[in-house]
Structure formats: structure tokens, C-alpha cells
Copies of this chain bind each other. A is one copy, B any other.
Amino acid sequence: MSDFRYNCLYFTTNRLSRIITKMADEAFAPTGFSPMYGYLLLLIIEDPGSAQKKLAEQLDIAPSTLTRFIEKLEQRGLVHRTTHGKTVLVYPTDAGRALENEIHMASKRLHQMYERILGKTASDLLSRELVNSSDQLEGK
């Protein structure tokens, strides 16, 4: 009857999402911020001067959500913004750059956590399938 728990993507995806988010929070706890902020900071470090629009697209989140994230990173002195007309460019500060390695280590911890259980090959495969489905659903 209630087979939606096994065959409805809404349910199955959100379930995994909750589980992985919890693991990620743990893995990123020592950095002092949550995974999404860590990855966002990485993106900004890799490509300083990105427009917010681009960052939001890369992370696949709503622009308003990105504004909130950048605000917090700025409050902590990890990035700064410069406005050019209607676009806003984001740069890492030295304090931000100094965290790069720590974030990479947190990311590695996360990978180890789930790869130890799922196996590396299966994890990679699953990730690829998820990207694939997401791309299709977004018409990309």
C-alpha cells in the first residue's frame, strides 16, 4: 500500500538527503560552519570575482538563498563584495583563503564516511546518476 516510501522519488531522495546532510554536518563541524558554506567558499576561492548569479547557478540554489549565504560569509570576514552596476562580485579574503585546506579535509572526511559504507565505486556511480537525473529534470 504505502509503497511511496520506496518508489516515490520525492520521498526516497529526501530521505537520502537528510541522512547525508547529517553526515556532512558532522564532517564539517570542526570547520565551524555547515557544508554548504564550505563548498561555497571553495568555489569563491577557485574563481575569485564571480558574480552572485554565477555562483547561484553553479550551486543550483535560488539567488535569494545565495545572498543569505554570502552575507554570513562576509560577516565572518571570509569574503567581501564589490558592486558593479547591477552585479555583485565576490572575492575571498585572506582569512577565507586560509580555510581552504581545512575545508578540503572536511570534505575528505565526509567522503570517507560514506565510502566506507557504500564503497567508493558505488558512491561515485550514485553521484553520477544523481547529476544525470538532475540535469535531465532541469532540461540541461
State which of B18, B42, B114, B133 has its C-beta within 8 Å of the C-beta of A61: B18
A80 interface hit (Cβ, 8 Å): no
Which among A2, A21, A58, A118 has the highest number of chain B CB atoms within 10 Å? A2
In the complex, are the beta carbons of B19 and A138 less than 8 A apart?
yes
Say how many copies of this protein the assembly contains: 2
In the complex, are the beta carbons of B4 and A107 less than 8 A apart?
yes
Size category of the A interface is: 35 or more
CB-defined contacts of A20 to chain B, threshold 8 Å: 9-10, 13-14, 137
Interface string of A67-102 (1 = CB under 8 A from B): 000000000000000000000000000000000000
Add 11 more A-B contacts to A9-B20, A11-B39, A13-B17 (CB < 8 A).
A1-B46, A2-B39, A7-B124, A7-B127, A10-B20, A12-B126, A14-B17, A16-B133, A16-B134, A17-B17, A129-B129
